Amino acid sequence: MADGTITYDYPVIEQCVAMMMKKADEIDNQATLLGRDVKTIMQDWVGETANSYEARSTNLQAGLDEHRQNLLNLRQKVSDAAAAMEAADKGGAKGIA
């Protein structure tokens, strides 16, 4: 704000955290389904093309896992920051009282 006041909307912060977690779960579920589909397709497929495809799908899964972990880490950081902001706000209020 123009006067230097900082206003935190804790419910909105928590809502953002929940939305990020939901998206991480969606990505994880999609990756799991994709992995199952790939295994079904690959069941009787052999040769270099099959090996290349398997390597690509493994890399894709690893990338999805990494992105999900990044979302989980970000969720934790946002949650920790919200808790720290709320604690600082309460501490400031005690100093005024």
pLDDT score recorded for residue 48 = 93
Domain at 17, CATH number: 1.10.287
Q: Name the residue with tokens 């890399």.
A: 59
Q: Does 38 fall in a domain?
A: yes
Q: Does 69 fall in a domain?
A: yes
| E strands, 1-97, in order | none
pTM of this prediction exceeds 0.75: no
Containing structural domain, residue 58: 10-79
Q: Does 88 fall in a domain?
A: no
Alpha-carbon distance of 23 to 70, in angstroms, equals: 12
Q: Does 87 fall in a domain?
A: no
Integer angstrom CA distances of residue 68 from 36, 48, 71, 92: 18, 30, 5, 36
Q: Does 5 fall in a domain?
A: no
Q: Is the pLDDT of residue 65 over 60?
A: yes
Q: Does 1 fall in a domain?
A: no
Domains of the chain: total = 1
Q: Name the residue with tokens 């209020």.
A: 93
Instruction: Identify the band that residue 2 occupies on the pLDDT scale cut at 50, 70 and 90.
Output: low
